Amino acid sequence: MKYSLSLAACATVSAAAATTSLLAQMADTHIRRGVEKTYDYTQAVLYLGMEAALALKQNETIADWYQAQVDGVVLDDGTIADWDYSFYSLDEYRMGMSYLYWYNRTGDEKYKSAAEVVREQLNRHPRTPSGGFWHRDPTYPDQMWLDGIFMADSFYSKWTSLYDADNATAWDDIVLQYDNIEAHCRNATSGLLAHGYDESKVAVWADPETGASPHVWDRAVGWYFVSLLETLQVFPQSHDGYARLLEYFTTLAAAVKKSQDTSGGWWLIMDEPYPGMEGNYIESSATAMFTTGMLQGIRLGFIAEDEYLAPAQKAYALMTEKYVVEKTDGTLDWEGTVSVGSLKGNATYEYYVSVPLATNDFKGVGPFMLASYEMESWAST
C-alpha cells in the first residue's frame, strides 16, 4: 500500500526537512565522526539506519564504510572478534542482522558463519520454565524484557526464513517468545505493555500475579513495536501464529496512537497517571520508533493511512524541529534520548526519570533514520 506522503504537505515539518535529505545527512554525520567497531546492539541500531540510507541513496561511500565497520568485528574465518561463547545476553545477538545483511549483499561466507555463531548461541541460551529466553544470564534469571524481543527474535525470524523455513518447530518457538510477552506484559485497558516480567515472580518489582514490571517504558515498547514489523515480514502467513503477531501489532499501534501527546511525541513513562507528571518528559528515541512503526505499518498494509499518517507526520515534525540540531560543519546532532532503561533495580518511576539524556545516542539516531527513510522515500514518488 502506498501512502500519499509529501514532506512539503506537512506544514509543521521544518523547511530544512522538506528540502534536505536528513537521512543522508545523518549517515554522513556518523561516517565523518567515526563509530567504534563493536558488536554492541547500539551500533547495530545505527547500522539499521545506514541500511535505510543505502536503500534510498545507493551511496557506495555508505556501503564501504558500513562493510568496514562489520569487518572490524567479523574475522576472515567467520568468527566474531572477542565473542564470549559462555556469555548469554540477548543484547549481543542484534548484530546478527548486520551479518545477514552483508552475506546477502556479498555472498561472502564469513558473514553467514558469523551469523551462525549467533544462531548457535541462541540454541544454548537459558530459558524460563515456559520457554522464553532469559534477557541475560546470570543477571536476569527467568526475566523476559520487550528489549530482548528486538535484540534476538527479529534475528531468529530472519535466520529461520532464509535457512530453515520449513522448520515448524522454530516458527512455533519464535511466536512463543511474543506470546509470553503478551500474556504477562500487555495491559488490557491501555493496550500498552510493561517493560518486562519475571516468570519466577521473585524480582522486587514483579507483580505477584503476572510477574510484570510496574511501568510502561517508552523505548521498550518501541523495540517491541519495530520487532513485530520485522518478524511479520518474514513469518509464514500459513502458520497460525501469523494472525496473532499481526493482532499484536495492530492493537499496539492503536494504543500507541491513543497515547500520543498533543506535541506529537510520547512520554518516557507512558502509563497513567504519569504522562505530564513532574520529572516525566517527551523522549526522542521512542518517538522515532513509534513514527517508524506507524509509517512502515501503513506501507505494508497492516494499518490504515487515514488513521495513522497524520499522527506519524506530527511526530516527525516534532523530531525535526526539536531533536535534530544542525551544526556549523553541516553535521547533525540528535537530542533527547534517554541513555538507558533497566529492570536491574527497583523499576520505580523515580528510577526511570532519573536516568540522564544522551546526545547522539545511536538508539535514537538509528530509528530517526528509519523514520526519515519512510518520509523521504514516499515523498519522492
pLDDT tens-digit series, residues 342-375: 999 999 999 999 999 999 999 999 999 999 999 9
Helix H or strand E encompassing 325: strand 324-326
Q: Specify the pTM.
A: 0.95
Which pLDDT band, with edges at 50, 70 and 90, does 118 fall under?
very high
Q: Could you tell me if 11 and 315 are in contact, meaning their C-beta atoms sit under 8 angstroms apart?
A: no
Q: Which amino acid is at 126?
A: P
Cis peptide before 138 (omega within 30 of 0): yes
CB 340: neighbour CB atoms within 10 A? 12
Which pLDDT band, with edges at 50, 70 and 90, does 14 fall under?
very low
Q: Could you tell me if 157 and 234 are in contact, meaning their C-beta atoms sit under 8 angstroms apart?
A: yes
Which pLDDT band, with edges at 50, 70 and 90, does 48 fall under?
very high
Q: Could you tell me if 175 and 246 are in contact, meaning their C-beta atoms sit under 8 angstroms apart?
A: no
- Residue 11 confidence (pLDDT) above 70: no
Spatial distance between the Cα atoms of 326 and 209, rounded to a whole number of angstroms:
49
Please give the span between the terminal C-alpha atoms of the chain, in angstroms, as a whole number: 13
Helix H or strand E encompassing 370: helix 362-379
What DSSP designation does 111 have? H
Looking at 1.50.10.10, 3.90.1110.10, 3.40.640.10, 1.10.760.10, the CATH number of the domain 15-379 comes to 1.50.10.10
Whose cell is 547522539? That residue is 360
Spatial distance between the Cα atoms of 59 and 318, rounded to a whole number of angstroms:
28
**Angle formed by the axes of helices 284-299 and 305-318, to 10°?**
150
153: phi then psi, degrees, rounded to nearest 5 = -80, -25
Which pLDDT band, with edges at 50, 70 and 90, does 52 fall under?
very high
Return the C-alpha cell found at 299.
Answer: 506501507
Residues 6+ away with beta carbon under 8 Å from 367: 45, 49, 222, 226, 285, 288, 289, 291, 292
pLDDT for the residue 2: 40
Of the candidates 326, 313, 328, 324, the one whose C-alpha atom is nearest the C-alpha of residue 365 is: 324
Going 298 to 300 to 303 to 306, the CA torsion angle's sign is: positive
Helix H or strand E encompassing 309: helix 305-318
Spatial distance between the Cα atoms of 268 and 206, rounded to a whole number of angstroms:
20
pLDDT for the residue 368: 98
Q: Tell me the DSSP string of 255-287.
A: HHHHT--TTSSEESB-STT-TTSTT--EEHHHH
Mean pLDDT of 275-295: 98
Spatial distance between the Cα atoms of 294 and 305, rounded to a whole number of angstroms:
9
Mean pLDDT of 315-322: 98
Residues 6+ away with beta carbon under 8 Å from 114: 73, 74, 78, 79, 80, 96, 99
pLDDT for the residue 5: 41
Centroid of chain to Cα 267: 17
* Mean pLDDT, the chain, integer: 95
- pLDDT > 70: percent of the chain: 94
Residues 6+ away with beta carbon under 8 Å from 183: none
Whose cell is 524480582? That residue is 203
- Residue 18 confidence (pLDDT) above 90: no
Of the listed ranges 55-59, 75-79, 148-152, 230-234, the one predicted with least confidence: 55-59
- pLDDT > 90: percent of the chain: 94
pLDDT for the residue 364: 98
What DSSP designation does 134 have? P
Q: Tell me: the pLDDT tens digits for 181-205?
A: 999 999 999 999 999 999 999 999 9
* Residue 39: C-alpha distances to residues 29, 46, 134, 203 (Å): 20, 12, 20, 29
- Residue 297 confidence (pLDDT) above 80: yes
The domain limits of the chain are: 15-379
- Residue 86's DSSP bridge partners are none
